[in-house]
Structure 1
Amino acid sequence: MLWQILVLAICLGTGAMLARVVRTQIASSDVKARFVRLGVESFARVLSPLLALLFIVIAKSMVEHWIRINLLRIAIPLVGSFALIRFAFYILRRIFARGGGTVGGFVLVFEKVFAVAVWAGVALYVTGWWPDVAQYLDQTVLPIGRNKVSLLTIAQASGSVIVTLVIALWVGAALEERLMRMDSVHSSLRVVMARMVRAILILLAVLLSLSLVGIDLTVLSVFGGALGVGLGLGLQKIVSNYVSGFVILIERSLALGDMVTVDKYTGLVTRINTRYTIVRSLDGVETVIPNEMLLSGAVQNHSLTDRVVRLATRLTVAYRTDIDQALKLLEDAARSVPRVVREPAPQGYLIKFDPDGFELELGFWIADPENGRSSVLSDVNRAIWKALQGAGIDIPYPQREVRILESIPRPDAQHSKEIPLGAR
């Protein structure tokens, strides 16, 4: 027994040390092929139990002629199950929590159920109850229509469907991540390709899982006809939104990072899904806009061909002001703000003659409207105020002069003189 514990400890320790060395080499090496790095990193989390399992199998075959190997026989399914659970958790986190996102409650529950099912299966295998449980599930049948299906068949079918779908989603997530890194391809085209690849993989996974279960794929023609009727009657809006989403992505009329105005909503396009688009306003509020609305209505894209946007501010100066000097001060003040671009250059204009003075306008351009307009307008106005104060130019406030040209007697005073004394 002690020899088995010693051999098991050596195998586990060697596997952990070798896995750590391999991970260190991978992290320090410059792997140019991203798919090679992706394939290696995918098994980094399960590398330690897999190597330990390999060493245990090798040690079992080497020492089985000299010592008892009952403990090693039990350790093989335990370590293998641990590797399977860690690999499944890695795949689920990569699918549903990419980019450092949080994991939803459904994924956490599924992970717990999967872990319990795997450990229960290992316990049944180790105790020798697995054949009896499998026979019981095979003999327990459920009537489904005219046919009878055993619980074992249902469990195998559910397992095959879940496994194929998870593998398809995992491969789709890996391909989507690689496609989104292709800077040479337009962002809209990358999104279209990623969505199409995922849809094709899910379709293939469903067809493969159905064939593994034993369902004849020709029966899908009936389902397709019913689906077509349903789409024609009650799902027109949903289908229209999906089609509109693909049309928008293919036409490239919208892209991630565009500054748009749709109806009364203005903001940055942060996500383009197949059914809706998310627009994040400058105050942080996200609006979910159906894609059909983007395709059928008017959309102002402030950065379709050029991200540079013009802003303007107006002010009034006194009539004694030198206009040329004032306009030059305005333009220099705008140039002093970092967010104002140099080309096109800021330009000052004399708009009109107000009763209080000259009305001037300063037009300038910015290249990052997604960072907000109020802040840059405030910076420009503050720079203008400092420049005018330094030059001694006043900004007049509205005022009026009221002159009384002559004294007019009040009407009640005239009437009072005409009334006799006796009548008072």
Structure 2
Amino acid sequence: MNPDEQSQQIEALQQHFTGLLGLAESFLVSMLQPWRLYQLAIVVGLFAAAWLVRKAVSPRMRGWMRTLEGRPKWQLRVLLVLEQRLTLIFFVMFAWATFWIMKEVTWPSRSYIIGIVATIATAWLIIGLATRLIRNQFLRRVVRWGAWIWVTLYFLGLWEGASDLMEGVALEVGEFRLSVLGLLKALIITGLLFFFARVILKGAQGKIRTNKDISPSMQELIIKVLQIVLFGAAFFLGLKAVGFDLTGLAVLSGAIGIGLGFGLQKVVSNLVSGVIILLDKSIKPGDVISLGDTFGWINSLGARYVSVVTRDGKEYLIPNEDLITGQVVNWSHSNDYVRLDIFFGTAYHDDPHAVRKIAIEAAKSVDRVLTWRPPVCHIVGFGDSSVDYILRFWIEDPTGGLTNIRGNVFLALWDAFKENDISIPFPQREVRMLADEDPSQPADAKNKAEAAGKAD
């Protein structure tokens, strides 16, 4: 941009700013008229009354909300949002009521300011409630404040001057021009697009997850693809709203691809591994897996990691690459049946035939042990002090835990052996104490000492 163009742009910007200041000055001067000052005083009084009413109503409303047990969470959230905006809600109600009363009993000009304030407050209330649906905090604030500023300037009649001023402040790079007004519009449009994308995704996600004809792995894959498409479309439409040339993204995407290949190998590897896991259905939400010392069930499949919850409540975030390259034990891959082994021993004087029958019946008496896949018991060796056995049984709910079912079977064996007088041997040690002997002296020294004592 040459110096002449820069000077012209600065002069135009100064003119817009001067015009906006003139509008603001005339607006402030018009507010100094007696009846308008009275209306501003009435507005302040209405706001104070709304604040006092809110201080009285809010504690009672919170107490009533605590009694609402068993209600859906979304209803409680709506009530909480309304409780946080009670001051503005009461102010809107008082302002409109005062406006209609004054409109009927006085001249319309004497309630004009109250009507404008009531309109702006109503718009603020609607915007505040609507933007709560945007979950991203930064984006929610940008959209909320941008909409508040717009409606305020619009109803005060200052929007045209402000828009000209913001349009004059721009960044120009070649043919590309980005103004403050265009940036605000893009942020608001992008926020709305992301909001609608989230609403559509949430509705589609509920229908996909309730469809029993689609496997859990394919459900996760469809949801993730739909998520990428919806949010990607919202992002590119937001760029288009700014006026950004999307054809230039072809070269940029190639450069980004090369950068990802070298600098983000692990991240890309985890993303690709996540897609492979979803496609080959090797693991899915609800499966019970073992990876190294980690044993638990899969809570969710992420784009970069898999969430595994253990029996003690810990949640491990395992990278997808580890599940592809490492050895994973999936206890419920093709079915939920799991065979468990426990070892025990009995004394040699106990009949091994009776021991095997008693052990099998004891295992069958435990709730989670499958009876249609009956337990078996075998002798595995003759130990130093016991006959050693192995007891094998099947369960179909590994998510219920493995240690607890082993403990229940051991407890059933203990009760059955005690009832049938079957003993469980354990190592024993015998210690003998020899009186009047000093083990630290040899036998010859002891005899000489005794002889010397007799001679004395």
> TM-score scaled to structure 1, two decimals?
0.71
Give the equivalent residue in structure 1 for 2:184: 155
Equivalent position SS for 2:286: coil
- Does the C-alpha gap of structure 1 residues 210 and 305 become closer, same or farther in structure 2, counting only changes over 3 Å? same
Q: Which of 220, 225, 237 is equivalent to 2:266?
A: 237
Select between 114-123 and 226-235 the one with higher mean Cα deviation.
114-123
The match for 1:318 is 347
Whole-Å Cα distance in 2 between the matches of residues 147 and 274 of structure 1?
A: 35
Structure 1 CA distance for aligned equivalents of residues 265 and 404 of structure 2: 43
Higher fraction of helix: 2
1:141-175 Cα offsets, whole Å, 9 max, x none, are 34556755321122112222232233223322321
For 2:125, the aligned partner's letter is: F
Q: Which amino acid aligns with 2:344?
A: L
What is the CA–CA distance in structure 2 between the aligned matches of 1:400 and 1:141, rounded to whole Å?
93
Going from structure 1 to structure 2, the CA distance change for 1:133 and 1:321 (only over 3 Å counts) comes to same
How far does residue 263 in structure 1 lie from its aligned partner after superposition? 3.2
- Write the distance in 1 (CA, Å) between the matches of 2:294 and 2:319: 13
* 1:365 match: 394
Which residue does the alignment assign to 2:206?
A: 177
Partner of 2:313: 284
1:374, distance to aligned residue in structure 2 (A): 1.5
Correspondent of 2:333 among 304, 314, 319: 304
Counterpart in the other structure of 1:221: 250
**Is the alpha carbon distance of 1:142 and 1:415 closer, same or farther for their aligned partners in structure 2, counting shifts above 3 Å?**
same
**3-state SS, counterpart of residue 307 of structure 1:** coil
Q: Which runs of structure 2 are paired with 1:19-34 in the superposition (5 Å)? A: none
Question: Which of 126, 129, 141 is the aligned partner of 2:158?
Answer: 129
Mapped pair 1:85 → 2:128: yes
User: 1:40-55 counterparts in 2 under 5 A?
Assistant: none
Q: Of residues 189, 192, 196 in structure 1, which corresponds to 2:221?
A: 192
Bigger Rg, structure 1 or 2: 2
Identity %: 30
Matches of 2:413 and 2:169, distance apart in 1: 85
3-state SS of 1:339 partner: coil
Q: Corresponding residue for 1:391? A: 420
Q: CA deviation at 1:116?
A: 4.1
Unaligned runs of at least 5 residues, structure 1: 2-41, 93-106, 404-409, 419-424
CA distance in 1, matches of 2:446, 2:117: 124
Q: Compared with structure 1, are the counterparts of its residues 310 and 112 closer, same or farther at alpha carbon in structure 2 (3 Å cutoff)?
A: same
Counterpart position of 1:20:
none
Following superposition, the deviation at residue 402 of structure 1 comes to: 10
Unaligned runs of 5+ in 2: 1-38, 40-77, 83-88, 433-439, 449-456
Q: Output the TM-score relative to the length of structure 2.
A: 0.67
* Residues 358 and 416, structure 2, Cα contact 8 Å, conserved in 1: yes
Q: Please, which of 186, 189, 202 is the counterpart of residue 231 of structure 2? A: 202
Q: Deviations over 1:211-233 (max 9, x none)?
A: 22222221111111211211222
Which residue of 354, 358, 361 maps to 2:383?
354
Counterpart residue number, 1:407: none
Decide whether the 8 Å contact of 2:131 with 2:144 is kept in 1: no
The alpha carbon displacement at 1:259 in A equals: 1.2
- Cα distance 1:209–1:86, how it changes in 2: closer, same or farther (>3 A)? same
- 1:289 CA displacement: 1.6
Three-state SS of the structure 2 residue aligned to 1:270 is strand
Question: How many residues align structurally?
Answer: 344
Q: Tell me which of 140, 157, 167 is aligned to 2:196.
A: 167
Change in Cα spacing, 1:119 to 1:402, as seen in structure 2 (3 Å) is: closer
Q: CA separation of 1:333/1:367 partners in 2, compared to 1, >3 Å: closer, same or farther?
A: same
Counterparts in 2 of 1:342 and 1:75: CA distance versus 1, 3 Å: farther
Structure 1 distance, partners of 2:347, 2:259, is 71
Shift in Å at residue 269 of structure 1?
A: 1.2
Aligned to 1:340, the other structure's residue is in SS state: coil
Give the SS at the match of 1:395. Answer: coil
Q: Name the CA shift for 1:356/1:222 in 2 (closer, same or farther; >3 Å).
A: same
CA distance in 1, matches of 2:123, 2:327: 58
